[in-house]
Structure 1
Amino acid sequence: MSLIKQVLQLKQLGESNRGISRKLSINKETVNNYIKTFQLNTWTYEELLAKEDPEVERLFHAGNPAYSDPRLADFLTRLPYFKEQLGNPKLHVTRQLLYEEYKHAYPDGYGKSQFYFHLQQNLVAQKDCVAMLADTYNPAEKLMVDFAGDKLSYVDTQTGEIIKVEVFVACMPYSDYTYVICVPSQKSEDFIFAIRMCLEHLGGVPPILTPDNLKSAVISNDRHEPKLNKALEDMGNHYHFVVLPCDPKAPTQKALVEDKVRTTYNRIYAKLRGRTFYSIIELNRALWEQLSLFNKTRMQKRPYSREERFHAIEKDRLKPLPACIYEMKYYANLQVQSSCFIELRHDKTTHFYSAPYIHVGKKALVIFTRSNVSIYVDGMQVASHRRSYEYGHTYIKEHLASNCRAVMERSASYYITWAAHISPDCRDYISEVFNPKRTNQPEEVYYKLCASIMSLSRKYELAAINKTCRQCIECKVFSYRKFEAILKHNILHDSADEPTLCYQAPTPTDHANMRGSSYFQ
């Protein structure tokens, strides 16, 4: 029997209020209030004692009429604002957020239950809330990913333009642990980057990834055998997860991440409204700050938070991350040119990468990432280079043919070293050719002269070459035609006394050139 019924029963027997208080060990004023309420109404003892206890409690504790509370006037002045915020789906404002702002502005206002009650009395409709059964999933088995329908934005500091960005949302369905990041678009590059950042945030890899049927994930959304995007396949091979897209017509396989998108609107979007951001990095920092609070907030009807649940059960069951991060792969079929290079054009830049000269003219499969370029011929990797984003050539000397290497390796030091192997006189002459005090011409101007002297040294006797070098140094002759004419003149004069096996008779043209010419000018 309830306490009120005991009071009524003793009063019916003629007990005084003080006596009832003493016998039931309750305050006398409490007894007085019960009896006063009984006397103000037309109830009878028999009628009240026949009712069930909850009905009796309701009659005696109905409380004051709600609209007699003085806090109502302040609430009604704020009510249009509450309706406006809740009625605009783009703002993603919840009753909880409005209540927090209301208590901050009016600490003596209604409590949470009364605040919700008056909102419900004045709003047209209330949305139903459906709780998903996360316990039907296995721990650390699946990662669900999706893009939010509504976009966030930031202001470009240089142009003042408002830049819209996509919001990537992912969750582990067992613990409901959530991850959110802003990326420039839903293209494959940004989609892959968002998944990579999510896996690094989780600190491990679940065996199954469940995306939507967007083009960045699925090329052909066949219900029974969808064709995956090659970029996502490569990423799955790198991180060792399989991709199981949801049904294109009824995507119930990722219902929890759909719910997390709505939660992102309510718990993150709404709190960032009114704030202006000036870069995607600044926007993501604010996003992650609110996301951390959300994951650390204790869930309703559960004695733990999403973060506690994830670290307690799922974190240790995830597969470890690979040693190196994943970079998206691009593919191109190119031909190895006659110069031993393939021409790679991407992102409005052109660069040339070398391949072994034995593959000139063959078709090559080029697989390149942000940092590396790999060249495959007949299924075998024949070259690998660091990626360059400027116009130019990247090569390995061994890839080039011998004649190409000879041309590319030419320099003043190269020719001086060569001359030193012939004779000291030849070395002194070649050194004087490249002497910066003698000339301000580029080194390349004298490469043909040095190459010609190399050719002459193989045809004529060393003594004649040395004599010519000494004479040219003395008379400051640094021209091939003059060097050759002096060399042949020396050979003609010395041939009578010292015939050589390497001697070649001058042609009539040579005689004509030598007659009347001054060799030492």
Structure 2
Amino acid sequence: MRRVREMLRLSRDGGLATREVARRTGVAPSTIREMFRRFEASGLSWPLPLDLTDSDLEARLYGEAGSRQGTRRRAEPDWSALNRELKRKHVTLQILWDEYIETHPDGYRYSRFCELYRSWEARLPVTMRQTHLGGDKLFVDYAGDTVPVIVNARGGETRRAHIFVAVMGGSSLSFAYASWSEKLSDWIEAHVQAFAYFGGAARLLVPDNPKVAVIKASLFDPQVNRTYAEMAAHYDTAVLPARPRRPRDKAKVEAAVRIVERWLLGRLRHRRFHSLAEVNAAIGEMLIGLNDHRLLRHVGRTRRQLFEEIDAPRLKALPSAPYVLAEWRVRRVGLDYHVDIESHFYSVPYRHARASVEVRLTSRTVEVFLRGERIAAHIRGSGDGKHTTLADHMPSSHRRYADWTIDKILREAQRLGPSVAMLCQMILEHRPHPEQGFRSCLGIVRLAKVFGEARLEAACLRALQVGARSYGSVKSILDNRLDGQPVRRGRGTEAGDDEGMTIPHPNIRGSGYYH
């Protein structure tokens, strides 16, 4: 007010123009003109009364316009409602102020409106101050504490269950899920359960930088685990890891982890669990209280209400089937154009023999990729050492044998004689590769055209007696005319034994086996 008195003195007593008063006092001319206008409107006269204090002078000049505690209180916006609206896409403070001033034309001006909102927002916890659009981000992490689970009641053996936590950025709706470990399979399964709980997928997944999710942490180009990225693509979302050493990037989930540890684990500390299912059932009950009944301070809404209002409308729809965990293996195709996966052999097109391929394994399927292109797909078989071969993968020289089925070969062999049929059956059962068995049996059957059916039957009988199980052995017997000669008995054979008696059986080797 000292400067106000000085400006009035220069103008009234000195007769100086407004610009000269502004130059001498260092105050803008517009400010001086506004002060003179207020002085004329105040009813005061110059010189000022001697008993007029600076406080009284300020009240007379600026009391109504400058005081924030005026006699008429302006309409106060609902700041919590504005905060929720700001989480919607394309909504700004300018838009909200426009709507406010339409309803209250004598309300706060825009600058004061923003100042008051920022002041209200500063009282919120740091995790609520961060503005996350509805349905935009899902923050995920593991809680530091675990839950003991009794797996052997008699011996008292326990295992520790790890708690996965996911929280929606806009509404803070929280989810928790217990698993035995933090490995990739449990990490993926926890995400699948979280998506099912929320009923949709957020646009972005924001994990910390665990090895199970991020192969190489980087500020600019983080490398995400391939299986994790594939799971995210299945739900039409993307992975955006938090920046290394930037804890506020994931402050939302860090706060949720603390809430889970206090709200859930603290209340479950006296309960005894005997399975993961019991733990998850108890967690589900606690989540109802946390999300559906507990009001958020400063907001006056539950997490569930905020979720239905902010996040749910913008979540992406879930795919028709949940993601199935897939593992990737690098393998080399064998010379027989088959890939060995856990002691079972799967075919690929024969032209890719000896190529290095990537194999994608699920619980039911096997897919083979070469330079990103899928070249084969099979139903997963058991590790029994057998082969799964598609006819389209075989070269033409092999394909003509594929028309012969086991039943067809055995019928043809039975027509030629019981010994031929028995020998072919034993070959088919004991060869590791079906094609090898087909070729041997086809070769034996076709020997009838060269040597006749009778000689072939006799040669197969002799092969059974001596333990021979190949096309080459039968052909050698025929070439050397051994099919008409009796098999020599070993020492200890009595004269009364019937040399013609043969009991063909895969468990009976015969004396020739030991020669």
**Pairing 1:372–2:326 present:** no
CA drift at 1:163:
0.8
Identity %: 27
| Cα distance change, pair 358–418 in 1 and its aligned pair in 2 (3 A) | farther
Show the 5 A alignment for 1:436-475.
Answer: 443-444=425-426, 454-459=445-450, 465=452, 468=454
Name which of 202, 205, 219 aligns with 2:201.
Answer: 205
1:415 corresponds to which letter in structure 2? I
What is the SS of the residue equivalent to 2:277?
A: helix
Residues 380 and 133 of structure 1, relative CA distance in 2, 3 Å threshold: closer
Q: Deviations over 1:95-115 (max 9, x none)?
A: xxxxxxxxxxxxxxxxxxxxx
2:320: which partner in 1?
A: 323
Residues 222 and 360 (structure 1), Cα distance of their counterparts in 2 relative to 1, 3 Å cut: closer
CA contact (8 A) 1:449 1:479 kept: no
Q: Which residue of 1 aligns with 2:171?
A: 175
- Give the residue type in structure 1 aligned to 2:426: E
Distance change in 2, residues 1:380/1:256 (3 Å) = closer
Q: Partner residue of 2:131?
A: 136
**1:266 counterpart letter in structure 2:** R
CA distance in 2, matches of 1:225, 1:306: 34
* Alpha-carbon distance, 1:182 to partner: 1.1
| Contact persistence 2:419–2:461 (CA under 8 A) | no
Tell me how far 1:513 sits from its aligned partner.
9.1
Determine the structure 2 residue equivalent to 1:352.
345
**CA distance in 1 between partners of 2:173 and 2:483 (Å):** 92
State the shift of 1:170 in Å.
1.1
Residue pair 1:449, 1:480 contacting (<8 A) in 2 also: no
Q: Deviation per CA, 1:18-62: give whole Å up to 9, x if none.
A: xxxxxxxxxxxxxxxxxxxxxxxxxxxxxxxxxxxxxxxxxxxxx
1:418 aligned residue:
412
| Alignment partner, residue 361 of structure 1 | 354
Alpha-carbon RMSD: 3.9
1:251-266 → structure 2 map (5 Å cutoff): 251-266=247-262
8 Å Cα contact 2:410-2:424 kept in structure 1: no
CA deviations on 1:42-94 (whole Å, 9 max, x unpaired) are xxxxxxxxxxxxxxxxxxxxxxxxxxxxxxxxxxxxxxxxxxxxxxxxxxxxx
Q: Are the structure 2 counterparts of residues 138 and 161 from structure 1 closer, same or farther at C-alpha, using a change threshold of 3 Å?
A: same
Match of 1:395 among 388, 395, 400: 388
Distance 1:478 1:213, change over 3 A: closer
In structure 2, relative to structure 1, the CA distance for the partners of 1:340 and 1:515 (3 Å cut) is closer
Q: How many residues align?
A: 341
Q: What is the distance in 2 between the residues matched to 1:311 and 1:516? A: 90
Letter in 2 for 1:457: A
1:390 Cα offset (Å): 3.2
- Note if 1:333 corresponds to 2:330: yes
Aligned-partner residue type, residue 414 of structure 1? K
Residue 160 of structure 1 pairs with residue 156 of structure 2: yes
User: What are the within-5 Å matches in structure 2 for residues 6-405 of structure 1?
Assistant: 130=125, 132-133=127-128, 136-157=131-152, 160-299=156-295, 300-345=297-342, 350-377=343-370, 379-388=372-381, 390-398=383-391, 399-400=393-394
Which residue identity does 1:359 align to in structure 2?
H
**Offset from partner CA, 1:147-199 (integer Å, 9 cap, x none):** 11111120112753221122111111221111001122222222222112111
Give the corresponding residue for 1:44. Answer: none
Instruction: Go from structure 1 to structure 2 and tell me whether the alpha carbon gap of 1:303 and 1:449 turns closer, same or farther (over 3 Å shift).
Output: closer
Amino acid at match of 1:312: E
- Say if 1:238 and 1:326, in contact at 8 Å, map to a contact too: yes
1:407 Cα shift? 9.1
Please give the TM-score of this superposition, normalised by the length of structure 2: 0.57
Q: Structure 2 unaligned segments of length 5 or more: list them.
A: 1-122, 429-436, 465-477, 488-498, 501-515
Tell me the CA shift for residue 213 of structure 1. Answer: 1.7
Q: In 2 relative to 1, CA 132–152 (structure 1 residues): closer, same or farther, beyond 3 Å?
A: same
Match of 1:341, as an amino acid? H
- Structure 1 moving runs of 4+ over 6 Å: 445-450, 512-517
| Structure 1 partner of 2:57 | none
Partner of 1:96: none
Q: Which piece of structure 1 moves more, 303-312 or 192-201?
A: 303-312
Task: Give 1:320 deviation, angstroms.
Answer: 0.8
C-alpha change, 1:225 and 1:442, in structure 2 (3 Å) is: closer
Alignment of 1:476-491 (within 5 A): 479=461
Going from structure 1 to structure 2, the CA distance change for 1:273 and 1:409 (only over 3 Å counts) comes to farther
Match of 1:430 in 2: 417
Query: Runs of 5+ in structure 1 lacking a partner?
Result: 1-127, 420-425, 436-440, 483-505
Q: TM-score, normalised by structure 1?
A: 0.57
3-state DSSP of counterpart to 1:155: strand
Shift of residue 258, structure 1, vs aligned partner: 1.3
Contact 1:397/1:405 (<8 A) preserved: no
Structure-2 change in CA distance of 1:292 and 1:392 (3 Å): farther
User: 2:196 is matched by which residue type in structure 1?
Assistant: E
- Shift in CA distance, 457/302, structure 1 to aligned 2, threshold 3 Å: same
Paired with 1:515 and 1:143, the residues of 2 have a C-alpha distance of 83
- State the secondary structure of the residue aligned to 1:454: helix
Matches of 2:278 and 2:440 in 1, distance apart?
62
Residues 394 and 294 of structure 1: CA distance in aligned 2, closer, same or farther (over 3 Å): farther
Q: Verify the 8 A CA contact 1:385 1:394 in the aligned structure 2.
A: no
Between the aligned partners of 2:370 and 2:257, the Cα distance in structure 1 is 46
| 1:282-341 CA distance string (max 9 Å, x none) | 111111111112111141444432112212332121011122322333332211112332
State which drifts further: 184-193 or 254-263.
Answer: 184-193
User: Do the aligned partners of residues 191 and 379 (structure 1) sit closer, same or farther apart at CA in structure 2, a change above 3 Å counting?
Assistant: closer
For residue 449 of structure 1, report the CA deviation from its aligned partner.
10
- SS of 1:338's equivalent? coil
The answer on whether the counterparts of 1:416 and 1:431 sit within 8 Å (CA) in structure 2 is no
Alpha-carbon distance in structure 1 between the residues aligned to 2:189 and 2:213: 13
| Separation of aligned partners in 2, 1:416 and 1:262 | 70
Q: Point out the more displaced range, 266-275 or 377-386.
A: 377-386
